[in-house]
Amino acid sequence: MGKASKDKRDIYYRKAKEEGWRARSAFKLLQIDDEFNIFEGVKRVVDLCAAPGSWSQVLSRKLYIPSKLNPEYRNGDRPLIVAIDLQPMAPIDGVIQVQGDITNARTAEVVIKHFDGCKADLVVCDGAPDVTGLHDMDEFVQSQLILAALTIVTHVLRVGGKFISKIFRGKDTSLLYCQLKLFFPRVTFAKPRSSRNSSIEAFAVCEDYCPPEGFNPKDLYRLLERVGSPCGSSDLDCSSAWLEGANKVYIPFLACGDLNGYDSDRSYPLTASADGSYRSLDPVQPPIAPPYKRALELKKASSSHAAAALVDIDVDTLTLS
Ligand code: SAM
């Protein structure tokens, strides 16, 4: 799809470039904030699975840049934003980057070190595996990322803090809801207007972190397993009984963002400039080391080999004739 055609079909792709966001995902976080006011009182944040960095940009613009412009802030008091991804990303004002895998304990340790004994007010995670289109598989891999994020949450989030995580809606959504409810009294699944209806993506907005009494982060997996097991413990709010009859859990699900605003599933006409032409903007910041980089290099190499082979043929042909 050409850039202009993508601009026409995806209003948020176009708007992201106009407003200087690295990815259209920025609008998802902004629309979640419109509904849940997630940045209120926030001074320390962890952005998990952050590349290419549009959520980190939102955090920088909402939290760090205003503090820089405010003379009352001294350097040490400025908001702390730590962003983690497998991929490196171009620098963002006020964002500390950690390159690593969130499912790896060592990455979690590096994040914790940056907080130097303090806790975070907010953890966000927009992690997504490379989607295969096989919904069960995608949902499973996604759930592993959420569990890794929850592990980090149980180490760094302060009591009363918030956790926002991308989820894929599927048959295990109720289980995930119950697992999150063990730690957060308020859990809402939200669908921002900028997230396409055709996508199974949604976001769990978990508020007021409150781990069970005596909880030890080492026991996280054991605790989560008990929620899903047929002999789910009666001391938990959610046991396996949530599946059935009167105990069935209804998950709060909310559409968010201006409902009269742009619809991500609609095409919008392009606005021509004074001379009547349309000029598509370049992406704000192309990924600096995307996972497909090697594939592109190989493709380029093979086409230049092909081109070289053509030149050889031409030379041979010339020699022959
Ligand atoms: N929120 C980002 C933004 O606004 O620019 C977009 C995130 S993108 C949808 C998903 C990211 O998850 C990718 O950059 C990918 O590298 C990252 N990711 C996937 N698995 C990961 C893992 N195990 N550890 C760290 N990052 C991971």
The ipTM estimated for the assembled molecules is: 0.99
Residue 231 has pLDDT above 60, yes or no: no
Signed CA dihedral, 26, 28, 34, 37: sign only: negative
Rounded to whole angstroms, the Cα distance separating 254 from 262 reads: 17
> Does the annotation place 127 within a ligand binding site?
no
> Does the annotation place 101 within a ligand binding site?
yes
229 or 160, which is more confident = 160
Instruction: Establish whether residue 195 lines the binding site of ligand 1, counting it when its CB lies within 6 angstroms of any ligand atom.
Output: no
316 or 37, which is more confident = 37
Encode pLDDT of 129-140 as tens digits. Answer: 887 888 888 888
Percent of the chain topping pLDDT 70? 86
Rounded to whole angstroms, the Cα distance separating 33 from 46 reads: 16
What DSSP state is assigned to residue 197? T
Encode pLDDT of 82-113 as tens digits. Answer: 999 999 999 999 999 999 999 998 998 899 89
> What's residue 245's pLDDT?
63
Position 37: which residue type? N
pLDDT-derived band at 7 (thresholds 50, 70, 90) equals confident
Lowest-pLDDT range of 100-104, 154-158, 217-221: 217-221
Mutate to test the pocket of ligand 1, among 45, 86, 110, 146 (most ligand atoms within 8 A of CB): 86
29 SS3 class: helix
Instruction: Establish whether residue 287 lines the binding site of ligand 1, counting it when its CB lies within 6 angstroms of any ligand atom.
Output: no
From the candidates 28, 62, 166, 191, give the one annotated as an active-site residue: 166
268 Cα: distance to centroid of ligand 1 (angstroms): 29
Rounded to whole angstroms, the Cα distance separating 240 from 222 reads: 15
User: Model's pTM, two decimal places?
Assistant: 0.86
Tokens describing residue 6: 């993508």
Residues 72 and 106 sit within 8 Å (Cβ to Cβ)? no
Of ligand 1's listed atoms, the one at least distance from the Cα of 55 is 4
